[in-house]
Amino acid sequence: MQTHEIRRRFLDHFVKAGHTEVASASLLLDDPNLLFVNAGMVQFVPYFLGQQTPPYSTATSVQKCVRTLDIENVGITTRHNTFFQMAGNFSFGDYFKREAITHAWALLTSPIDEGGYGFDPERLWVTVYLDDDEARDIWRDEVGIPEERIQRRGMADNYWSMGIPGPCGPCSEIYYDRGPEFGEDGGPEADEDRYLEIWNLVFMQNERGEGTGKDSFEILGPLPKKNIDTGMGVERVAFLLQGVDNVYETDLVRPVIAKAEELSGRTYGRDHEDDVRFRVIADHARTAAMLIADGVNPGNDGRGYVLRRLLRRIVRSAKLLGADRPSMREFVTVVRDTMAPSYPVLETDFDRISTVAVGEETAFLKTLASGSRLFENAASEVKAAGKKVIGGDEAFALHDTYGFPIDLTLEMASEAGLSVDEDGFRTLMAEQRTRAKEDAQARKHAHADLSVYKELVDRGPTEFTGFEELVTESSVLALISNGVRVPTAAAGQDVEIVLDRSPLYAESGGQIADRGTITASGLRVRVNDVQKIAKKLWVHKVTVEQGQITEGDTVLTQVDADWRKGATQGHSGTHMVHAALRQVLGPNAVQAGSLNKPGYLRFDFSWQGALTEAQKQDIEAVTNEAVAANYAVNTFVTDLDKAKSMGAMALFGENYGDEVRVVEIGGPFSMELCGGTHVGSSAQIGQVTLLGEQSVGSGIRRVEAYVGLDSYRHLAKERALLAGLSASLKVPAEEVPARVESLVERLRVAEKQLEATRAKAVLAAAGEFAEKAQRIGAVRLVADAAPAGVSAGDLRTLVGDIRGRLGNDPAVVILLGDVDGKVPFVVAANKAAQELGIRAGELVASFGPKIAGRGGGKADMAQGSGADPSGVQAALDAVRARVAELAGSN
């Protein structure tokens, strides 16, 4: 049975049983505890916590999930995967244990021709929590599983929670016996490789307190309602129903391995180390494609760093397999072809997905090239020292600082006849992981208590009137202070106000919230911010400036008209710039984030490499031509599929409802899904002036712009600046660039002449110093203050030249400068002096304390700086004494 069919049968089974089918949430949810969605129940957390009333009493979904704690173990075993699909059914105070158990049993054991999976009931085992007699009785007496195939287990195995205070409860897990060839007898307690868990039924009936680990927390008491949360691993069921040994051999994963075999010339299943690499490629290619599809881009922290690691592990593994050319596009192509029936975004957005993946591959191949040079330097130093082992700290620096994988370091070391201190490397890696886990744990906390808003959310959404009007008569539904409902608020207080109707836009979609006022007789309230709760309740954060406001009051809520005008200009300008980017750069320039506020917009988009000046000029020109065309701005509401079929752009990673609002500017010029406020026609945006463009992460660029009056003010400043330059240079404005270029060129020439003059002076000084060299024993010594005005860079050149003029006799040179109250110094010793035991780097210790300085270097030359110019003479005396000591003369 194909994986897509397994998914479909699961959803159909529960829809027929009265459940509402809910689409998978994005892998990215606004949850402070989660980097990625890692369980099927995550999108339903507000319902389980009682913060929101669910729109359905039962639901079913197949949730895409990513877990990344075990990245290093992926491929080593066949059990670890980063991306997986979790099929689940959920009850929010509706049915409980009996129905959860019988629903699961029916789907697993019903014949294939009746819509089930056709598992042999005799090969299914179950576990229950230690004292859960109710679940045991249902399995034994109603389902008919013999008691010997029902095992009781403790909290670590059969008690579920989110790892933080919240809902929890005992669970019952269903296992499939794969047969004696996979392990020993005795059920799940004996061998979880032979007895494979395929479904976990969680009976959420309690609330847990603080604590760590799976079994070290307190049970506070029962939940108001008993809930059901189940999770069936789609990939595990797939490899059982497809008669293969593990997920890597299933219909959605094995084709990626086949492509890797084709590209590398090696065969899966013949060598363990190669098999690990094949599995890494197959697992990570799926995960990377799904993450990019949901809007993640490679970066140096957070989600972006995880994606970068995954992509680089693919490149590394392909290289170690012997693939001799870039292969990322071919891997993600296979992922698209196999996964798109369940996830169409892989097909519709393939160009963007492959561009991001290939861009990271290209960058990493350059890293590998530079890392190879760094390795060669390290290896040369090890050999020069007569050693055979590259230190763990050096291997760790290559890995952590330069992104050079440890297995490539090991391979190259072996080829060079060296080994690596792997224990030292692993210790440093373990320390880094410990720090990362401690940091992640410190960031985890209980979900914010939003229960104060639940009654208000259940009442229904705030009616937003701001598309039609700027002033609305509203009723005060609630006042909230420090998370508690209060009846009134007086002048000077900061509170939150919930209204039944509001014209004030609540922050979302990159548009910041409106500013405005709430007034009544003797009352004036300043609105500082407006935020959404549960995506539908407007919460106004305000300061009471005059009078007293009371729950139940009727008030006038008014938007600051100037603020709204500027905000709509910024928001509509963002849409225009987006459309212009795609027109100039192509369809891969896709939005990756935005911010717009009165007079200003910021737009992030997917793109590899900086824009040229010509591209930036074209983008600005296309935008302003569209503004001047005075395109009509139309908005309408339609269903999501129709909007997409019309070509409306959606923001990646955003979850949309069945109905969406489309903003259309100039027909085909710009069409996006958007809930924000906009101008009536494009001319109302006013002039758009691009301020610049920069990188904000791997594969992500950012443009910023002013619009409307802010654009005019910016250009007025630029014009004033140009007029000032024109007056100073005494040329017309249009000739300023040429005159500035001419002046810059003359400055370059003057600097070169000055440098030549300075070099001559340094050479002349070198001869004078060499002639004054002292003879201390067998050593010729120059120890003196440097000429006034000699820079730190010139000092090194001067010392080197003096040393060269002293011939083949043992010679030491030290000069101490005086630059802005600092004492830069350079020490040099020629080869003959080094043979006497005099080393430049060691001499620093003899005089450095005299000038409160420090420095270092090698035997032939060392340099540094001091902070006390008054100690220069004492430093010179100390050097003379030390050289005399080493030269054997007093």
| Each residue's pLDDT tens digit, 82-113 | 999 999 999 999 999 999 999 999 999 999 99
Q: Is 171 annotated as a binding residue?
A: no
Q: Is residue 80 a known part of a binding site? A: no
Which stretch of DSSP H or E encloses residue 591?
strand 591-597
> Which residues, 6 or more positions from 308, have their beta carbon under 8 angstroms from its beta carbon?
298, 299, 300, 360, 698
Q: Is 714 annotated as a binding residue?
A: no
Return the pLDDT at 436: 58
- 25: three-class secondary structure by DSSP: coil
- pLDDT tens-digit readout, 645-660: 888 887 755 666 778 9
Q: What is the mean pLDDT of residues 128-149?
A: 96
Helix (H) or strand (E) holding 217: strand 216-233
pTM: 0.69
Residue-wise pLDDT tens digits, 300-320 = 778 888 898 899 889 989 988
168 marked as part of a ligand binding site: no
Q: At what angle do helices 350-384 and 406-415 cross, to 10 degrees?
A: 40
- β-strands 591-597, 166-177: how paired? unpaired
Q: CB neighbours of 247 closer than 8 A, spacing ≥ 6?
A: 78, 81, 235, 236, 238, 239, 253
Q: Which of 618, 530, 482, 509 is nearest to 572 (CA)?
A: 509
Spatial separation of the C-alpha atoms in residues 362 and 359, rounded to whole Å = 5
| Position 558 pLDDT exceeds 90 | yes
Residue 761 has pLDDT above 50, yes or no: yes
Supply the mean pLDDT for the chain: 89
Whether residue 447 is predicted with pLDDT greater than 50 in this model: the reply is: no
Helix (H) or strand (E) holding 886: helix 872-887
Of residues 384 and 513, the one with the higher pLDDT is: 513
Contacts for 328-333 with beta carbons within 8 Å, 24 or more apart? 328/354, 328/357, 328/358, 328/360, 328/361, 329/354, 329/357, 329/358, 330/259, 330/263, 331/256, 331/259, 331/260, 331/281, 331/285, 331/357, 332/285, 332/288, 332/289, 332/357
136 pLDDT higher than 90: yes
Q: Report DSSP state, residue 535.
A: T
Nearest to 124 by CA among 104, 138, 142, 141: 104
